[in-house]
Amino acid sequence: IMVGLPSAENRETILKTLLANEKHDDIDFKELSTMTEGYSGSDLKNLCMTAAYRPLKELIQQEKEKEKVIP
């Protein structure tokens, strides 16, 4: 069975569902749904997960850089 990619409206709904329990006051879901043309539901989930972990990865990288500077 072939399942097509979600429309912009459906991507907006998917994103709102994925982020329902997250803080997201400044997210323009309509704009984000336009920017993610060609994304599947799974792609959108991965996008949200990557975005969620990015600050943590940056913090870890900063700590590693601090360790290099300290003799």
Give me the pLDDT at residue 44, please: 97
Of the candidates 6, 5, 11, the one whose C-alpha atom is nearest the C-alpha of residue 33 is 11
| Separation of alpha carbons 66 and 9, rounded Å | 45
Class of domain 8-69: mainly alpha
**Is the predicted pLDDT of residue 69 greater than 80, yes or no?**
no
What pLDDT score was predicted for residue 28? 93
Residue closest to 15 by CA, chosen among 36, 4, 26, 25: 36
- Max mean pLDDT among 7-11, 48-52, 55-59 falls in 7-11
CA contacts within 13 A on the Cβ side of 54 = 7
What's the pTM value of the predicted model, to 2 decimals?
0.77
Q: Are 47 and 36 in contact (CB under 8 A)?
A: yes
62 falls in which pLDDT band (50, 70, 90)? Answer: confident
Is the pLDDT score of 24 beyond 80? Answer: no
Place of tokens 């704009």: 31
